[in-house]
Amino acid sequence: MTRGVRVPRRPEAALAALVAVVAAPIWVAPAAAQGRTGESSAGRPGWALARTYYVDSVRGSDDAAGTSPATAWRSLARASRAALRPGDRLLLRRGGRWNGTLHISAHGTAALPITVGTYGTGSRPTISGRRGDCVVVTGTHVHITGLRASDCRWAGFHLVGSHNQLVGVYADRNIAGVAVAPVSAHNVIRASTFADNNRMSVNDRTQRNDSGAFGILLNGDDNLVIGNVITGSRARSRDYGYDGAAVEIYNGDRNVVVHNIARNNETFTELGHEPGRTASGNLFAHNVVTSVRQRAAFLVTRGPRHLALGPVVGTIAVHNSVHLPGRDTIGVSCYDGCSPRILRLRNNIIKVGGVVGYADGAGIDDAGGVYWGRETKFRLGPRSILADPLFRGITDLRLRPGSPAIGRGLRLGPHWYGGAEHAHDMTGRPIGTARNPDAGAYQS
């Protein structure tokens, strides 16, 4: 947990220019999504040409056509040169391993995204290598599924373009499992696993500048992080002893982080921005955060007196369940000028072995929460109480019968959750307004 300045840094990766290639197309269904009816301006049916390319690290050949499993390409360099068009697919063979970078610079559309996925049977296709980020997307409307990015130079997956999706991917042993660039926005990171991204980017003798060990690093705006499992984002730091975060937001606005499971990370989330930038309006809802380590934190933010990283304005945390039983733990830290403008808490459960929460200044805008720990250093709001929430177990944060969290929460509109589509608990149970909901990420 960073108790001072942390500035995420990364080396700039040199991206090679891509060379267009021509491949034999196959006919697919009419491209109605390209126009209202799928007809050309001349009234003739319009058809999209969608192609599928294959990459096999063992039996492929870069001299082959790449258009069937029997004629698969071999290298990431060849795959990166593919002139992908909307609706195309690039598939990596399961069980394959590559060293290098897969660079997708092509652009799909909202209706016809480019898909990068897998074929065959066996383990996930794995891309590794310390010479660069393993998967770099500078294009738009690209959907990546099923890949593993492991032990890469900096990021496993680096999103530079916008409107891209990572679904069911796996990243481990990186500095950042996923990094979303400052120019990248409106991406979705869904149903993926980010495990033991536990390397530092900056870890030198300069005081209070260390950074690294990010499960997900959001430098961009309007991204959705939903339904992921994030574990082990933690590394040794000269400055802080340990550092790391499941979801780090630096210079990112209006990001929505919902329905994730986070285990044994140094911090669940920390927010900040460089001078002249913002990290405003970020939302954390229905996340389940646990750690068995002696040192951990849920949320770290700061006010206007933090000249290096603050003020971080408009952060909302709602219906999260947190259990950090270690002694050197803190639930929420809001310092250097905390105020309701900086942080709003609604209907959370935070149980820790250390400090439940700290706030200076005017304090936190809090309501509907259940808090339990050794110390409490902030003022509780309406319907919030200090009581043991009666979790079922150390990592099972469902509520036992008789929990004071049952019916404790305030009735909230869908905007508190980032939209009606997120107004449900971790099991999918809707959170209605007919009665006061339970606090935390699970409804009873």
Of the pLDDT bands very low, low, confident and very high (cuts 50, 70, 90), residue 131 is very high
CB 25 within 8 A of CB 67: no
pLDDT of 9 above 90: no
Starting at the edge strand found earlier in the chain, the sheet holding 229-231 runs 97-99, 126-129, 148-152, 170-172, 193-195, 229-231, 261-263, 288-290, 321-324, 349-352, 370-372, 385-386
Nearest residue to 391 via CA among 440, 342, 326: 440
Q: Tell me: the pLDDT tens digits for 403-439?
A: 999 999 999 999 999 999 999 999 999 998 879 999 9
Query: Helix H segments across 249-310?
Result: none
Of the pLDDT bands very low, low, confident and very high (cuts 50, 70, 90), residue 237 is confident
Can you give the pLDDT at residue 19? 26
Find all residues with CB under 8 Å of 246, minimum gap 6, and list them: 194, 215, 216, 230, 233, 260, 262, 265, 267, 268, 269, 289
Domain ranges of the chain: 51-422
Of the pLDDT bands very low, low, confident and very high (cuts 50, 70, 90), residue 243 is confident
Can you give the pLDDT at residue 44? 31
d(CA 131, CA 135): 12
Strands of 239-362, DSSP E: 241-243, 245-250, 256-258, 261-263, 267-272, 283-285, 288-290, 295-302, 315-318, 321-324, 328-335, 343-346, 349-352, 355-359
Can you give the pLDDT at residue 344? 99
Q: Which residues pair with 349 in a beta bridge?
A: 321, 370
Name the CATH code of domain 51-422 (choices 3.40.50.300, 3.30.420.40, 2.160.20.10, 2.40.30.10).
2.160.20.10
Instruction: Check residue 58 and give left, alpha or beta (phi > 0: left; psi -120 to 50: alpha).
Output: alpha
pLDDT of 89 above 50: yes
For the chain, state the CA radius of gyration.
Answer: 23
φ and ψ at 339, to 5 degrees?
Answer: -165, 165
d(CA 227, CA 441): 13
CB 79 within 8 A of CB 59: no
Output the pTM of the full model. Answer: 0.89
Can you give the pLDDT at residue 432? 82
d(CA 12, CA 80): 19
Instruction: Check residue 340 and give left, alpha or beta (phi > 0: left; psi -120 to 50: alpha).
Output: alpha
Q: Tell me: the pLDDT tens digits for 167-220?
A: 999 999 999 999 999 999 999 999 999 999 999 875 556 655 557 899 999 999
φ and ψ at 217, to 5 degrees?
Answer: -115, 115
Query: Helix H segments across 72-189?
Result: 76-80
Q: At CB < 8 A and 24+ separation, what contacts does 121-124 make?
A: 121/94, 121/95, 122/94, 122/95, 123/94, 123/95, 123/148, 124/94, 124/148, 124/170
Strands of 6-125, DSSP E: 26-30, 47-50, 52-55, 89-93, 97-99, 102-104, 114-119
